[in-house]
With several copies, the nearest count.
Chain A
């Protein structure tokens, strides 16, 4: 219990002193996860829309697999990526291992199925409403996807935010491909793991509190900016 209160104190200490290290790793955390979520949204949202408007033979299986991929174990993703990016691997020449880029790639892989699957789920309901109309207007598949993405943008927010949450709290994959190297690839979660392994629980909990506060702040900010749940929307 002392560790918990000490953790809260540590969090306050870190925040109020704007601890130099804390700022650095927090910014790196945000940079990595924002990049990953941007890429994942760019691919995942249209894919989700595509899945919503397209009927094909193996659709159910595809959706089931996509759902399953939401649970991709981070350690495995990190490991496979490590093997691919390592000097002796096929992409070794790119020299990406132990760089933030590798971490972004890892998180993108983890987040993408989440964004795509939740986007599909959100747009399915809208497609159910729009189906007849959009077919009647003789829209192309691209136009249908566009209409869904545009008119359903509010409900896509949850998909993106879920992906963000998954990314910012993730550790298994980025630990392996990033290496948790000080001043290079250390982010909030890997720093926490390090403090845990040192037995320095108060600091670890303190960093954890900072991480959670950061996530909550960003969520509230985005909700306010996008005005979801405004009384007027329904």
Chain B
């Protein structure tokens, strides 16, 4: 069987979708996909170094830069899900009633409730910082000890958040698939601002001849095929749909 290596972000892997897609790819394409589960930054770094054949990430701006550097031949959107705010069940900041993501963030800032940030420059972290910015706030200037940058992956940050009983900004898939929920629950979701697009970027074989372009092409076509798009749409945890496929047919 052929094999390729693909770097994916922790949040994608934590969703569990890979456990469905990988066996299907093996069956349909006779292709072994070896996943490297790393942070967004590291995933792109692996791509830049030519050590993987493709990356699947969710950080638009960083992806554009990656493309501009000529590391990938193109960027293909596959699906999206959304980001959510989770927090302690008693919701000390009262974000459950917020009307927008910005309002929810502002509420947290006002109540000085513990907020655990990824703080690792990942796609999720970048989105969070964007929302603070839109709310006119700058985490660097927060006083008091309530805003905590944990500097770790999604799973580790959730563990920390649960341990501290604090709010965490996460993607829906990671949260639904997360086992150590403790006393926490999903408190806010739904703002279009929280839209989270995943894109597939095959590495440029002009830069690294060892890259298996034919296979990444095959994989990309397969991911965007109606059958797989349907599979993605039907993937559920606890009765909730996690991803919305949105690949545009070529």
Chain A interface residues toward B at CB < 8 A: 3, 82, 86-89, 92, 95, 97-98, 175-176, 179-184, 186, 190-191, 193-194, 196-202
B51 x A87 contact (CB < 8 A): yes
By a CB distance below 8 angstroms, the chain B residues around A179 are 5, 34, 36, 116, 148, 150, 152, 156, 160, 163-164
B residues at A contact (CB < 8 Å): 5, 10, 14, 22, 32, 34-46, 48-51, 116, 119-122, 145, 148-156, 158-160, 162-165, 177-183, 208, 210
Query: How distant is the Cα of A228 from the Cα of B70 in the complex, in angstroms?
Result: 57
B151 shortest CB reach to chain A, Å = 4
* B36 and A197 contacting across the interface, CB-CB below 8 Å: no
Structural contact, B51 and A201, CB atoms closer than 8 A: no
Contact check, A199 vs B41: say whether CB atoms are below 8 A apart.
Answer: yes
Contact B151 A181 (CB under 8 A): yes
A180 touches B152 (CB 8 A): yes
How far apart are B64's CB and chain A's nearest CB, in angstroms? 16
In the assembled complex, 8 residue pairs joining A and B whose CB atoms fall closer than 8 Å, in A order, are A86-B163, A175-B156, A179-B150, A182-B148, A190-B151, A196-B156, A198-B121, A199-B158
How close is B154's CB to chain A, nearest CB, in angstroms? 7
Residues of A within 8 A of B210 (CB): 87, 95
Please provide the 6 A-B residue pairs with the shortest distance between their CB atoms, ordered closest to farther: A197-B155, A199-B45, A197-B39, A199-B180, A199-B41, A198-B41
Measured CB to CB, the closest approach of chain B to A84, in angstroms, equals 11
8 Å CB contact of B153 from A95, A184, A197: A197
A92 to B35, CA, bound (A): 20
Contact indicator A98/B14 (Cβ below 8 Å): no
* Cβ contact within 8 Å between A197 and B156: yes
Residues of chain A within 8 A of B162, CB atoms compared: 86, 199
Contacts of A88 on B, CB cut-off 8 Å?
49-50, 182-183, 208
What's the minimum C-beta distance from A187 to chain B, rounded to whole angstroms?
Answer: 11
